Structure 1
Amino acid sequence: MITPEPTPPRYYAPKGGLPAQTELTTDRAIFTEAYAVLPRGTMTDIVTSLLPFWEKTRVWVIARPLSGFAETFSQYIVEVSPGGGSEKPELDPGAEGVVFVVRGALTLTLDGEGHDLGPGGYAFLPPGCSWTLHNTSGATASFHWIRKAYQVVEGIDVPAAFVTNEVDVPGDEMPGTDGAWTTQRFADPSDIRHDMHVNIVNFQPGGVIPFPETHVMEHGLYVLEGKAMYLLNNDWVEVQEGDFMWLRAFCPQACYAGGPGRFRYLLYKDVNRHATLSRQLV
């Protein structure tokens, strides 16, 4: 029997622009008390932002801490033109981050060492590390930048920086799925130093999450490839590559990947820490 070659990764990146005046206003965008869906069509030129100390760069801010909603993280889609980038990318010394490249080529300098990041390139950036990022190619590059305030625990070290590519990270088969549902875990789940995970979740056609997951972790889910039906709270929502789903804690979720191709998303969740409790001043 001939073993089929693995399907090479592909990733959707926003194209910007602006819909024509003749287009319908009705779309799939929704914001509820439990979840939000930002379809790829909402990521137009007029909703981009600039960042301090970034040159020839624009960003789509697709998640930010909101009181009473998801409060632990921010997520950007960053588009860097040739010659662009930053010598001073992160201004918050307490922030950790993950960079995941979906288009083009970037050069990451991390603690003085250079790394070439192409599509699928992944870097974990702990708080306080020294890094820069530049597009030295002749084409536009795009990457996801997920940021979180690192929760320091006395007696536990801050995790070290690392750089990899998703093609070098095998998928762990979820029990009982015969490979139809796998997760590529970039950080060791048993490593208590990490207080967030940014993974890639994969479904082959017919793969499902067969129960409504309901848990304390907040989620950002960016669809890299394919389409599926996703249960969000009480609603089954059809999503496709380029869409972003944003879930607050305890929002029920499930998934059915009907095909015709595989369905994949980049997933953020907060992990491995006590719930923060308010302290009453005496």
Structure 2
Amino acid sequence: MPTAPTNPARTYYVPKGGLPPQSQLITGRAMFTEAFAIIPRGVLSDIVTSALPFWQGTRFWVLARPMSGFSETFSQYIVEIELGGGSDRPETDANAEGAIFIVEGQVSIRLEGTEHKMEEGGFCYLPAGSDWSIRATGDTGCAFHWIRKRYQSVSGLDTPDAFFANEHDIAPTPMPQTDGAWATTRFMDPTDLRHDMHVTIVTLQPGAVIPFDETHVMEHGLYVLQGKGVYHLNQQWVEVEAGDFMWLRAFCPQACYAGGPEPFRYLLYKDVNRHAQLP
């Protein structure tokens, strides 16, 4: 029998919209509980897209938004831009920091007057109050994830600097005692306490596991970029695959194992490095 390649290429699942046929059964995998939500890729149809002011040739799938009593720190969108589309005023909240991760096509981001060209695997961090604009370039349109968070400033700490990177240029950090089966690609420096959020890519090789129910204060958004796995969420087992989104509130127990012949990879958001806000 043929064997799977030892180093399969990184891929990035991108929703294409449309609508399911009238013959499709209604039963699906979407879930919303008191501790977590699952938004399967099949939910990302045309009728659930949003539009936002000052964007042209663009539509948004809103995966997460702050909700009282659930997950309260961030919003996350999948953004699809037609060729030539974009925005000269993308962010209307001066207190919102942003992170962008490109999953299809090419974009040009102009930040404080300097142009930065990005392609698949590209990442950028945009501090709160940044002056930036974005356009789809190349031969086709583009798609990317946009994570937004109200920045929590701390007296005595400067605001983080903007930066641009690509995951292909960052060596994944293996988790201790896993022999590389579980690794994390870190975009933010974990020792830089100016940052109040981290965005990473977690990679589990086929058969690898997170072998205990993590239960912690960080909220999560997890978008599956590649492969498939099985998650243990608050005592429920849930199968997920490329294109699915998991939205976990603080302290939701979580563990998983990777299934299938290719790596299980997901884009991960979490809030970090700040005291809990007290009422």
Tell me whether the two structures share a fold, i.e. TM-score over 0.5. yes
Instruction: Give the TM bin, normalised by the shorter chain.
Output: over 0.9
Give CA deviations for 1:215-240 in whole Å, capped at 9, x if unaligned.
Answer: 00000000000000011111110000
Q: Aligned with 2:71: secondary structure?
A: coil
Q: Aligned with 1:211: secondary structure?
A: strand
Does structure 2 retain, via aligned residues, the 8 Å contact 1:83–1:137?
Answer: no
- The two structures, once aligned, show a CA RMSD in angstroms of 1.0
Give CA deviations for 1:178-212 in whole Å, capped at 9, x if unaligned.
Answer: 00000001111111000000100000011100000
Distance in 1 (CA, whole Å) between partners of 2:94 and 2:170 is 29
Does structure 1 retain, via aligned residues, the 8 Å contact 2:35–2:248?
Answer: yes
For 1:215, the equivalent position in structure 2 comes to 216
For 1:271, the equivalent position in structure 2 comes to 272
2:211 alignment partner AA: P
Q: Aligned with 1:249: secondary structure?
A: coil
Identical aligned residues as a percent:
63
TM-score of the aligned structures, taking structure 1 as reference length: 0.96
1:112 Cα deviation from its structure 2 partner? 1.1
1:68 alignment partner AA: G
Deviates more, 1:106-115 or 1:223-232: 106-115
Superposed structure 1 runs of 4+ greater than 6 Å apart: none
Distance in 1 (CA, whole Å) between partners of 2:15 and 2:190 is 30
For 1:33, the equivalent position in structure 2 comes to 34
Equivalent residues in 2 for 1:125-274 (5 A)?
Answer: 125-274=126-275
Give CA deviations for 1:248-269 in whole Å, capped at 9, x if unaligned.
Answer: 0000000101221100000000
Unaligned runs of 5+ in 2: none
Does structure 1 retain, via aligned residues, the 8 Å contact 2:122–2:166?
Answer: yes
1:5 Cα deviation from its structure 2 partner? 8.0
Does structure 1 retain, via aligned residues, the 8 Å contact 2:84–2:136?
Answer: yes
Distance in 2 (CA, whole Å) between partners of 1:254 and 1:108 is 36
Distance in 2 (CA, whole Å) between partners of 1:245 and 1:169 is 25
Q: Aligned with 1:257: secondary structure?
A: strand
1:136 Cα deviation from its structure 2 partner? 2.5
Unaligned runs of 5+ in 1: none
Distance in 1 (CA, whole Å) between partners of 2:57 and 2:32 is 31
Q: Aligned with 1:46: secondary structure?
A: helix
1:140 Cα deviation from its structure 2 partner? 1.9
Give CA deviations for 1:129-150 in whole Å, capped at 9, x if unaligned.
Answer: 1111001233121000000000
Give CA deviations for 1:108-134 in whole Å, capped at 9, x if unaligned.
Answer: 111111111110010000001111100
1:7 Cα deviation from its structure 2 partner? 3.5
1:169 Cα deviation from its structure 2 partner? 1.2
For 1:109, the equivalent position in structure 2 comes to 110
For 2:91, the equivalent position in structure 1 comes to 90
2:267 alignment partner AA: L
Give CA deviations for 1:53-109 in whole Å, capped at 9, x if unaligned.
Answer: 000000000000000000000000000001100000000000000000000111111
Distance in 1 (CA, whole Å) between partners of 2:260 and 2:187 is 26
Distance in 1 (CA, whole Å) between partners of 2:9 and 2:111 is 27
Distance in 1 (CA, whole Å) between partners of 2:133 and 2:122 is 15
1:54 and 2:55 matched: yes
2:73 alignment partner AA: T
Distance in 2 (CA, whole Å) between partners of 1:273 and 1:130 is 26
TM-score of the aligned structures, taking structure 2 as reference length: 0.97
Distance in 1 (CA, whole Å) between partners of 2:218 and 2:6 is 35
Distance in 2 (CA, whole Å) between partners of 1:170 and 1:37 is 30
Q: Aligned with 1:206: secondary structure?
A: coil
Aligned length: 275
1:128 alignment partner AA: G
